């Protein structure tokens, strides 16, 4: 946990999922008969799994942009996570933590060249940065792996004119992220601590419009030793199999990072969804995941003191006590 001297923080977390239009039956699983080792139920991961199951059983079948097909519900109940004692990294399948960290740092720095991620072994933007894909959406003159003014660029340079991933945007546009950090430090009761990646004027330049698009921050008990930073974020399009576990951990990490550089404790993460869907080719894999009983969430430790949020690196974070099941492969729809 963070003290006034920014001592190392520790944190924990959980998660789950489900299947097709018929009721999803839990069969004999790897450890279905057991609770997790502490004898407690991971209720935070269970809320995710319960939502996956509900979508598979009751969701509307829909045609989607990718042509894969989904089952979908609109505006399901919020998912809520307590960041004060655990880090919400799902346990019912192995999650690639490095990819979560490196992508978030990529956003925090306002970067848009997916080659930066590729060079660190993170391939999650390869499909949307490929020559074939960029040509398919009319970005014929765009350099391969130049994603355009996506996510973090909007966080750091909202309103600036985007030209290419090679350009220097220092001091250009409106730096929403730094404004939130400064406001938390100087006026923590403010109701305008908001970051938006949704910029309609730039949509035609983006390789992919933002799925998670809006976040608001809130300080409880400001100006006291018990002050905590919470975050509520909205996501318009929620891929329950691949994307949502990633997004939960990413916004948890963002909240923890902002809390650290503003000398606050991490509080709550609240996840609001629009179109929450399961891709048709993920259903069988999610059935396997739904048979698994989640372990307790791990804890997150910050290993090195930093002053600025841009100064964090992957090596500064350590996940302690992460116990999970094996990886479950699911295809990404582009």
Instruction: Kindly name the residue from 25, 211, 231, 272 that is annotated as catalytic.
Output: 211
Q: For residues 145 and 164, what is the distance between their CA atoms, to the nearest angstrom?
A: 11
How does DSSP classify residue 296? P
Angle of CA points 46, 50, 51, to nearest 5°: 120
What pLDDT score does 332 carry? Answer: 86
The Cα–Cα gap between 323 and 314 comes to 20
pLDDT at position 23 is 52
Overall pTM > 0.85: yes
> By the 8 A CB rule, do 2 and 259 touch?
yes
Tell me the C-alpha distance between 65 and 50, whole Å: 26
Q: Please give the average pLDDT of every successive group of 10 residues along the chain, which has 334 residues.
A: 41 36 47 52 97 98 93 99 98 98 99 98 97 98 98 99 98 99 99 99 98 99 97 99 98 99 98 98 97 98 97 98 96 86
Q: Which domains does the chain have, with CATH numbers?
A: 58-279+300-320 (3.30.572.10)
Strand partners, 61: 71
Reading the block at residue 202, the tokens are: 């730039």
Distance CA 299, CA 236 (A): 29
The H helix count followed by the E strand count for the chain is 9, 9
Q: How many CB atoms lie within 10 A of CB 331?
A: 12
In this prediction, residue 262 carries a pLDDT of 98
> What residues contact 327, with CB distance under 8 A and at least 6 apart?
93, 94
Determine whether 211 is an active site residue. Answer: yes
* pLDDT at residue 40 in the model: 76
**CA gap 198, 153 in Å, rounded:** 11
Q: 277 and 71 in contact (C-beta within 8 Å)?
A: yes
Burial class (CB in 10 A: 0-12, 13-18, 19+), 228: buried
Between CA 163 and CA 146 the distance in angstroms is 10
């Amino acid at each position: 946990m963070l003290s006034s001297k920014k001592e190392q923080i520790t944190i924990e977390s959980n998660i789950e999922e489900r299947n097709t239009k018929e009721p999803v039956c839990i069969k004999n699983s790897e450890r279905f008969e057991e609770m997790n080792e502490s004898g407690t139920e991971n209720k935070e991961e269970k809320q995710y799994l319960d939502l996956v199951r509900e979508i598979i059983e009751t969701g509307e079948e829909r045609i989607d942009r990718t042509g894969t097909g989904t089952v979908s519900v609109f505006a399901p109940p919020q998912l809520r996570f307590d960041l004060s004692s655990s880090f919400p990294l799902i346990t019912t399948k192995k999650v690639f933590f490095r990819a979560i960290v490196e992508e978030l740092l990529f956003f925090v720095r306002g970067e848009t060249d997916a080659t930066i991620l590729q060079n660190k072994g993170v391939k999650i933007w390869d499909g949307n940065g490929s020559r074939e894909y960029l040509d398919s959406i009319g970005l014929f003159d765009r350099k391969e792996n130049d994603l355009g003014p996506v996510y973090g660029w909007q966080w750091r340079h909202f309103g600036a004119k985007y030209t290419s991933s090679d350009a220097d945007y220092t001091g250009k546009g409106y730096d929403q992220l730094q404004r939130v950090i400064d406001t938390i430090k100087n006026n923590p009761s403010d109701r305008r601590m908001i970051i938006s990646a949704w910029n309609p004027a730039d949509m035609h330049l983006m390789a992919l419009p933002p799925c998670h698009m809006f976040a608001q921050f809130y300080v409880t008990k400001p100006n006291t030793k018990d002050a905590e930073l919470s975050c509520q974020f909205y996501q318009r399009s929620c891929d329950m199999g691949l994307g949502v576990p990633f997004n939960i951990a990413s916004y948890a990490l963002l909240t923890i990072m902002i809390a650290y550089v503003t000398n606050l404790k991490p509080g709550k993460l609240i996840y609001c969804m629009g179109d929450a869907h399961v891709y048709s080719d993920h259903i069988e894999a999610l059935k396997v995941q739904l048979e698994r009983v989640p372990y307790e969430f791990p804890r997150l430790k910050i290993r090195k003191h930093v002053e600025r949020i841009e100064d964090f690196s992957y090596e500064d974070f350590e996940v302690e006590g992460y116990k999970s099941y094996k990886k479950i492969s699911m295809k990404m729809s582009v």
